[in-house]
Structure 1
Amino acid sequence: MIWILVVIFVACLVLRYPIAFALGLSCLVYLVLKGTPLIVVPAKMYSGIDIFVLLSIPGFILAGNLMNQGGLTAKIITFCNHLLGHIRGGLSLVNVGASMLFAGISGTAISDTASLGSIMIPAMKKEGYDADFSCAITAASSTVGPIIPPSVPMIIAATLSGLSVGKLFLAGALPGLLLGVGLMLVAYVIAVKKKYPKHARSSFSQVAHGFVDTFWSLLMTFIILFGIIGGIFTPTEASVIAVIYALIIGRFVYGKLNFKNVQVVLLDSIKTSSSLMILVGFANLFGWILITEQIPQTISSEILGFSSNKYVVLLLINLLLIVVGTFMETIAALLILFPILLKVALAVDVDPLHFAVIAVLNLIIGLTTPPVGVCLFVASSIGKVSIGKVSKAGFPFLMVSFLVLILVTLIPEISLFLPNLFID
């Protein structure tokens, strides 16, 4: 019977149904054909979202949207331009740098691509950068968002595994920085080769003024991160504090928020949060069906039967997650596969924090992997460039992402250094 579930789910994905609907429809058909009482649908959906830490996700989404509407994106880009604009291909470096700073606010790759891309891609094209390169660097840099804290996928991973959200946030910091620096180096090499433009060096006062303009928004990330790590508040409480902080800064410091655009932000955040919670609910039902059919045990035994070597197992998991991440949205893939693969990783003595970072990094790299990486489509639509050209231009960035993934996989200390340093 399980093949019916899988076939319908894959068919829905091919037909470009929303992931939540694909999960729900495949589960419904399976349960009807199996003769299972349909009362299990609301029961399992509710149990999937009845988790306290998940309440932080709508809060972080709302806080990020408030800061974005409040003018944060433009200020971050201006500040990064003062710092990096004088280097050859400076705007491409600004693109990555802005993503690294904006990551602490948005926490998702797709929102990063859409928000920063709508500003950066037209600006880069106007200054003489190739359109395909502009789209490619925007899509690639957006993958930093779900790694550098606070990160929505990391919250999901913590919920599924029982790990500390604070520890996971710290575990993602160094891999995120490593990924950002790697993308900058590749962008610089390409910029020098193609003789992309650079600006005059900004004065110290301009840099200082840009930092002051950006300071209050960046402070929110530190309040959230160190408040959670220090045990001052829970992730859910941190998300509420972030919303209040974003409202105050957006209204009284930046002066961009008013009643009208706050209404727009609220509606947009409600839509995003609602669709995400429906996805979580259906994914929990889907996962329950997989467990009843003993699919996790089968996958575990097959992988461990192939090899019990830690690095071989991690290689197989990496390959699986890269492929899945190419075709499926990050959070949906995490909800379905993370609990299954975590058991496999634990069986070969992989640290759960380390594995969580590997899993999230794999899936976000999939967002920029052809043929159907979601961030590639978002960037290509903004830049009005074919997905084929963007994919070709993005190949060097994809290679450096894979290199970072290999380093993070083989060297656990990259992920574990900060959690071990700050948290017992």
Structure 2
Amino acid sequence: MEVLLLFAVFFVLLVVGIPIAFSLGIASLSYLMLAGIPLTIVPQKMYGGIDSFVLLCIPGFILAGNLMNVGNITEHIVRFSNALVGHIRGGLGLANVGGSMIFGGISGTAVADAASIGSVMIPGMARAGYDKPFAAAVTAASSTIGPIIPPSVPMIIVGSLSGVSVGRMFLAGAVPGLLLGLAMMVTAYILAVKRNYPKEKRVTLKALIKEGRSAFWALLMTFIILYGIIGGFFTPTEASVVASVYAFVVGMFIYKGLTWRNLPTLLVDTALTAGALMLLVGLANLFGWILTSERIPQMIADGILGISDNKYAVIMILNLLLLFVGTFMETIAALIILFPALLAVATGVGMDPVHFGIMAVLNLIIGLTTPPVGVCLFIVAGIGELPMVQVARAIVPFLVCNLLVLLAVAYIPAISLWLPNLIMGVQ
């Protein structure tokens, strides 16, 4: 009875538009009151969910991303990407994807990518003669690269849940992230040729070098983070602090888009974003504890293995389940609630934990661009002042290409494991 109430309250709150964190919290509170469990368990489980040194790097990377965005880094990234591929048919669409691939290596979040790149590219592409729904769709689709290409907030969560090295998870996301970007570029190019979208003038070598220099500091930041973690110079948490200091110096003294005046607003925005994320982590941990106490994860695992114990069939079932969950639940909440149980199923049929972690994150972030919840769809629809239906229709070709990459990642472990095994050794 209590479990039915838990799920009923949760789904009703989601349907009426209550934020996922509050939906989890209210549903959990309803369960505890009906079950007669002391409410002192609420702060205990919430604190237990965020009491992790690794999770401290999340506010650091959010701050670094905000500093780089306010410091005009987005504009430099877009200009460099456009200089590289703008002369190709539909070049601004390709530049949009390329910009997301670079920006994803800074912010680590899809929402920040969609908002930052979208605010520059959607109006710019519309002025250049592209259909607005296409501009919004390519922005939303490419924003999903952010949580795959390192650094990545969801990969940090996976590392903390599974005990796998965060550095290994970061490396494992690099090749799938590049594949995602290339697949979306091909899709954007095919659509551009079919619809006869414009192309820019080819820039001179001198201009290309100039734009490359301007984007150099963004590329260097990703290298510092990865090399520092993998080389053992600092932990992911320390890396986030280094990234923030680096972003401050670059934004203030090199790009000069950051000023002392806008620092207070930036810090408040970072605190609000990080606070909301930590609240979500804490409440998801409480919700997850309730599910565990009711043996729901074990029932899910037994149900999956009851259908089939064939490795390839189980991988397909896991994909379908995660894709479904990703369409209505926020990525981090879904990972905290489901990942431990599904990891046991995956490793039980012989999947590497790192391979499953990449597959799980990729499934869930595709949900960020899938109706009905699709947070990134709402962001780009707002920027482009478009009806949600138009953006959802325009993103279908990109969803298809992302699903094809997902299948490749799911069934070819080497795509995820080759780079971490090469650099950090086979575990």
Tell me how far 1:268 sits from its aligned partner. Answer: 0.4
Instruction: Give the Cα–Cα distance (whole angstroms) in 2 for the partners of residues 27 and 372 of structure 1.
Output: 21
Instruction: Give the Cα–Cα distance (whole angstroms) in 1 for the partners of residues 85 and 189 of structure 2.
Output: 11
What's the TM-score, normalizing by structure 2? 0.98
Instruction: Give the Cα–Cα distance (whole angstroms) in 1 for the partners of residues 251 and 376 of structure 2.
Output: 27
For residues 46-61 of structure 1, the aligned pairs below 5 Å read 46-61=47-62
The equivalent residue for 2:280 is: 279
Runs of 4+ in 1 over 4 A off after TM superposition: none
The equivalent residue for 2:345 is: 344
The equivalent residue for 1:36 is: 37
The equivalent residue for 1:369 is: 370
2:388 is equivalent to residue 387 of structure 1: yes
Tell me how far 1:371 sits from its aligned partner. Answer: 3.2
Instruction: Give the Cα–Cα distance (whole angstroms) in 1 for the partners of residues 164 and 16 of structure 2.
Output: 36
Structure 1: runs of 5+ lacking an equivalent: none
For residues 175-214 of structure 1, the aligned pairs below 5 Å read 175-214=176-215
Tell me how far 1:299 sits from its aligned partner. Answer: 0.7
Instruction: Give the Cα–Cα distance (whole angstroms) in 1 for the partners of residues 233 and 385 of structure 2.
Output: 46
The equivalent residue for 2:96 is: 95
Instruction: Give the Cα–Cα distance (whole angstroms) in 2 for the partners of residues 52 and 192 of structure 1.
Output: 49
1:307-326 per-residue CA deviation (whole Å, 9 max, x = no partner) reads 00111111111111111111
Instruction: Give the Cα–Cα distance (whole angstroms) in 2 for the partners of residues 341 and 402 of structure 1.
Output: 20
Aligned partner letter, 2:337? I
SS in 1 for 2:275: helix
Instruction: Give the Cα–Cα distance (whole angstroms) in 1 for the partners of residues 292 and 226 of structure 2.
Output: 34
Instruction: Give the Cα–Cα distance (whole angstroms) in 2 for the partners of residues 275 and 391 of structure 1.
Output: 27
The equivalent residue for 1:405 is: 406
1:354-378 per-residue CA deviation (whole Å, 9 max, x = no partner) reads 0000000000111112333221111
Instruction: Give the Cα–Cα distance (whole angstroms) in 1 for the partners of residues 244 and 337 of structure 2.
Output: 30
What is the Cα-based RMSD across aligned positions, in Å? Answer: 0.8
The equivalent residue for 1:148 is: 149
Name the stretch that deviates more: 365-374 or 308-317.
365-374
1:256-314 per-residue CA deviation (whole Å, 9 max, x = no partner) reads 11111111110100000000001111111111111111111111111001100111111
Tell me how far 1:381 sits from its aligned partner. Answer: 1.4
Instruction: Give the Cα–Cα distance (whole angstroms) in 2 for the partners of residues 411 and 232 of structure 1.
Output: 32
1:96-126 per-residue CA deviation (whole Å, 9 max, x = no partner) reads 0000000011111111111110110000010
The equivalent residue for 2:321 is: 320
Structure 2: runs of 5+ lacking an equivalent: none
Aligned partner letter, 1:115? S
2:369 is equivalent to residue 330 of structure 1: no
Aligned partner letter, 1:411? I
The equivalent residue for 1:306 is: 307
The equivalent residue for 2:116 is: 115
SS in 2 for 1:273: helix
Instruction: Give the Cα–Cα distance (whole angstroms) in 2 for the partners of residues 323 and 292 of structure 1.
Output: 24
Name the stretch that deviates more: 64-73 or 391-400.
391-400
SS in 1 for 2:144: helix
Instruction: Give the Cα–Cα distance (whole angstroms) in 1 for the partners of residues 93 and 327 of structure 2.
Output: 24
The equivalent residue for 1:138 is: 139
Q: Aligned pairs, how many?
A: 424
